[in-house]
Amino acid sequence: MNGIRRDFPLLGANPQLVYLDSACTSLKPAQVIDAETSYYTQLGACGGRSSHALGRKTTEKTEEARENVARFVGAEASGLVWTRNTTEGLNMVASGLDYSKRRKVVTSVMEHHAVLLPFMKLRDRGQIRLEIVGCESDGTVSAGRWAQAIDRETALVVTNSGTNTTGWKGNAREVAKIAHDSGALICIDGAQGVAHGRTDFRRDDFDFLCFSGHKMLGPTGIGALVSKRQLLDRLEPLMSGGGTVKAVSGGKIDPMNDQTRFEAGVQHYGGILGLAAACDYLKKIGMEKVEAHEKTLGMALRRELEAVDAVIYGPADAAGHSALYSFNLKGKPHDLALMLDRQGIAVRSGFFCAQPALEALGANDGAVRASCYVYNTVDEVNKFGEALRKLRQLY
Amino acid sequence: MVLCFIAFFVFAVMSIFSAKYRPLAKEGFRCVFRTLMMKPCDTGLDERIKADVVSAVLKYSPPLAKVINGHFAALSWLFVIITLASFAYTAVGVYNFYVYGNCDGPQAIGACILNDITGDYGRFSEPTDLIPPTALDGMAAGNASANVTIIEFGCFTCPYTKKAESTMKTLLQRYNGTIYYVFKPFPLPNHPYSQDAARAVLCAYRQNKSWELQDEIFRQQQVCSEEGALALKPLAQNAGLDMAAFNRCFDNNETGAELERYVQEGRDAHIYATPTFFINGKPLVGPKPIEEFEKAIAEAGG
Ligand SMILES: Cc1ncc(COP(=O)(O)O)c(C=O)c1O
């Protein structure tokens, strides 16, 4: 991990900054920024439409990127749809599936609002029956709970491969198996999981996987929905428009039969190139190394939090967490975050767009969250601990 | 929260000079507006101010930071009230200065306070406590048969008595022949050498030169308060007194009993500060602006 920090212009410009909010969005290395800019400086044209040289080159480069990003998560390029972010992917799945034969959707209380809200909306419209599985007191959701809820009525199961509240990496693979045993589909919210560990779409037998570029060193405004090829055909697109049809003639639509059916309008080509560069960057480090580094940071975080007697949410041991901890000291979470900010430490406070999850954990007034990534160091975690010790004197 | 009121005001003033503060002023305004509508402030401005204050104090004194952090709401109320009160006082002061020429307004004490804890007089401290004297003896000037009489109780080592002197001189000129002015010495025991100065002026009055010595004393008031007789004698000389007669009068305390009578008269009038004036009986305490005197003279039929 040596030398990585030098790749991040924002860290260079703010040498005193301790950025512990990567679960919200990560910082971007120069390689990603350059790749994104390269679209504007070297390509600049429409992909998949224009046949001039720059248009062809744009198509070529973005299709290369599709291969690249799909490979990064162990999936086929033909099943990858560009989205704006995880949220868009999840909405595409929620609104695109057919619930006429099986009406039930199962998810858990530990999910992000990006998962819960689209399905709650369908429930409120009477389109689905929604079962929200509860959690243990440490925020984990056991396979047993899932097995109990998933039945032959279940069309879809949605869960995450890493939470943004406790840092628990979850049991997505197991849940996928339980879903398939009942003939249900599995959709994975990979917003955290893809960024922080190796994801193997095929091996884990997922049906849908949604993730965002911006949490994995990539640009904002780009993400992907990865799907089994044959399932894409069963999905109704959320949006239609330019680029989604072969022809519109005689009052009839002849849709594309590949994933471009879902990619309405001119795409975020710069973002696509940036996301591919982020995958390259992470691959070069190696996701195993990323996980090992985060394990070290996670243990350091836990040590610092225990030293100030913080209330820690989530599994009782460091093994259950990634380098992400939600906690509370005596003061209001928001006050703590603001005062940490005054000491140059960026953390998040509140409900992290997962209010039901925090309430289930007993954090009814929210919590403070510190989350690390590849560029963080144990030294920084120590600084964070020092700041916490100072703040503890206030209570 | 209440702090927004101050923040809005401060940032509004600062944004006159620097655009940097305009968004903050806007935020403060929004906050003030919401607070007035009984809605919580939703911009987070107060929370950020709290974090700034507590973090800054935390660097120097964790215990103090703890107190501020724990009682921030109460402290900000206190701060707001103090600030608003000081705004109000400033506004009143500015108004008074504009209208009355001093920041304290028409009832301003701006006078030397009698601090005689042995007598009964500490009980009196309001113009309404004052009882106009009836006797007209004293060091007089002007027309004895005029309609308006101004009686003054003054102390020669009191800076406020000194300040009023020029007003009296102006009035005597301006109302030439239509007012009668009587000065009764009322040396304050808490002013050093006030007794000596009063006796000296009474001695000068015997030579009809009380104004002259009075002028000298006021000019050198500081020295008189420090040195007493040592300073008074050269001043008597400057005032052109017959020094042999003066020395006799002063050294033998010839005016002591007379002074005691004036003091008693002042006590009977419940004088609690110098200078105190009675304009046909209507009291004015302190060296009031000349307009006040003119008003009182007009009311008295002058
Ligand atoms: C677990 C999880 N799911 C979904 C999301 C939503 O991601 P995005 O805002 O990029 O759509 C996030 C991001 O906060 C997340 O942490």
- φ, ψ of residue A331 in degrees (nearest 5): -75, 175
Pairwise CA distance, residues A380 & A345, whole Å: 9
Residues of chain A with pLDDT under 70: none
* Helices assigned H by DSSP within chain A: 9-13, 30-38, 53-72, 86-96, 113-124, 143-149, 172-181, 193-196, 229-232, 269-285, 287-307, 333-342, 355-360, 378-392
Tell me if B52 and A335 make a contact (CB, 8 A cut-off).
no
Locate B178 and state its tokens: 């239509």
Are A156 and A119 within 8 A, CB to CB? no
Residue B73 and residue B62: Cα distance in Å, rounded?
18
Span between the terminal Cα atoms of chain B, in Å: 58
Q: Is the ipTM of this complex over 0.85?
A: no
Q: What is the pLDDT, as a whole number, of residue B106?
A: 56
> Cα(A376)–Cα(A300) distance, rounded to whole angstroms?
11
For residue A292, the CA-to-ligand 1 centroid distance in Å is 23
Q: Which residues contact A174 (CB under 8 A, 6 or more apart)?
A: A143, A146
Distance from CA of A238 to the nearest CA of B (A): 34
Q: Beta partners for A132?
A: A107
Distant-in-sequence, close-in-space partners of A249: CB < 8 Å, separation ≥ 6: none
CATH architecture assignment, domain B112-299? 3-Layer(aba) Sandwich (3.40)
pLDDT block averages, 10 residues each, chain B of length 302: 76 83 84 81 82 92 93 87 89 78 61 66 75 90 92 94 92 92 93 93 94 93 90 94 95 94 92 93 90 92 78
Chain A residues whose CB is inside 8 A of the B62 CB are 390, 393-394
CB contact under 8 A, B47 and A338: yes
CB contacts of A331 in chain B (<8 Å) are 69
Q: A73-265 adopts what CATH topology? A: Aspartate Aminotransferase; domain 2 (3.40.640)
Mutation pick for ligand 1 pocket among A108, A111, A112, A211 (CB with most ligand atoms within 8 Å):
A112
CA of A216 to the centre of ligand 1 (A): 11
Ligand 1 atom at minimum distance from A111 CA: 1
In this structure, how many other beta carbons lie within 10 angstroms of the beta carbon of residue A311? 14
The ranges assigned to domains in chain A are 4-20+286-394, 73-265
Q: What is the DSSP string of A123-175?
A: HHTTS-EEEEE---TTS---HHHHHHH--TTEEEEEEESS-SSS-B---HHHH
Name the phi and psi angles at A138, rounded to 5. Answer: -95, 10
Does residue A353 have an active-site annotation?
A: yes
pLDDT of residue A287: 97
Residues of chain B contacting residue A395, judged by C-beta atoms under 8 Å apart: 66, 69
CATH 3.40.30.10 maps onto chain B at 112-299
Sequence-ordered list of residues with C-beta below 8 angstroms from that of A242, at least 6 positions apart, any chain: A49, A264, A265, A266
The rounded distance, in Å, linking the Cα atoms of B217 and B195 is: 13
Run of H or E residues at A255: strand A252-255
**Contact present, B2 and B82 (Cβ < 8 Å):** no
Specify the residue for token string 């701006």: B110
pLDDT number for residue B114: 79
Query: Of A178, A192, A185, whose CA–CA distance to A158 is shortest?
Result: A185
Compute CA distances A122 → A95, A103, A176, A189, whole Å: 8, 11, 22, 18
Residue A90: what residue type? L
Whether residue A92 contacts residue A81, with contact meaning beta carbons closer than 8 Å, is answered with yes
CA distance B46 to chain A (A): 11
Query: Nearest chain A Cα to B57, which residue?
Result: A394
Q: In the numeric block, which tokens belong to residue B56? A: 């800054």
Q: What is the pLDDT at residue A257?
A: 85
Rounded to 5 degrees, what are φ and ψ at A76?
-85, 140
Catalytic site residue from A135, A210, A353, A372: A353
Is A188 a pocket residue for ligand 1 (Cβ < 6 Å)?
no
Shortest distance between the Cα of B70 and any Cα of chain A, in A, equals 8
pLDDT at residue number B84 = 87
Rounded to whole angstroms, how far apart are CA atoms B66 and B89? 32
Q: Reply yes or no: is the peptide bond before residue B275 cis, omega within 30 of 0.
A: yes
* Amino acid in position A152: R
Distance CA B274, CA B161 (A): 6
Per-residue DSSP letters for B258-296?
HHHHHHHHHHHTT--EESEEEETTEEEESS--HHHHHHH
CATH number of A4-20+286-394: 3.90.1150.10
A212 lines ligand 1 (CB under 6 A): yes
Select from A107, A117, A161, A164 the residue to mutate for testing ligand 1; criterion: most ligand atoms less than 8 Å from CB: A164
3-state secondary structure B158-215: CHHHHHHHHHHHHHHHHCCCCEEEEEEECCCCCCCCHHHHHHHHHHHHHCCCHHHHHH
Query: What whole-number distance in Å separates Cα of residue A19 and Cα of residue B1?
Result: 30
* Cα dist from A102 to A128, A133, A182, whole Å: 9, 18, 11
Instruction: Provide the shortest C-alpha distance from residue B37 to chain A (in Å).
Output: 24
> Cβ(A87) to ligand 1 under 6 A?
yes
pLDDT 10s digits, A129-149? 999 999 999 999 999 999 999
* A111 in contact with ligand 1, CB cutoff 6 A: no
Task: Quote the CA–CA distance of A67 and B27 in Å, as a whole number.
Answer: 48
Taking alpha carbons only, the member of A94, A71, A70, A98 closest to residue A82 is A70
Cβ atoms of A89 and A114 within 8 Å: the answer is no
CA of A85 to the centre of ligand 1 (A): 8
Q: Please tell me if residue B47 touches chain A, with a CB cutoff of 8 Å.
A: yes
Question: Which of A335, A338, A394 is facing B58, going by the closest CB pair?
Answer: A394
Strand partners, A34: none
Q: What is the 3-state secondary structure (H, E, C) of B16-29?
A: HHCHHHHHHHHHHH
Q: How many other CB atoms sit within 10 Å of the CB of residue A181?
A: 10
Burial (0-12, 13-18, 19+ Cβ within 10 Å), B202:
buried
Q: Check A339 against B47: CB less than 8 A apart.
A: no
Phi-psi category of residue A380: left, alpha or beta, with phi > 0 → left and psi -120 to 50 → alpha? alpha
Strand partners, A254: A247
* Residue B104: predicted pLDDT: 64
The pLDDT score that the predictor gives to residue B108 is 56
Q: Are A58 and A43 in contact (CB under 8 A)?
A: yes
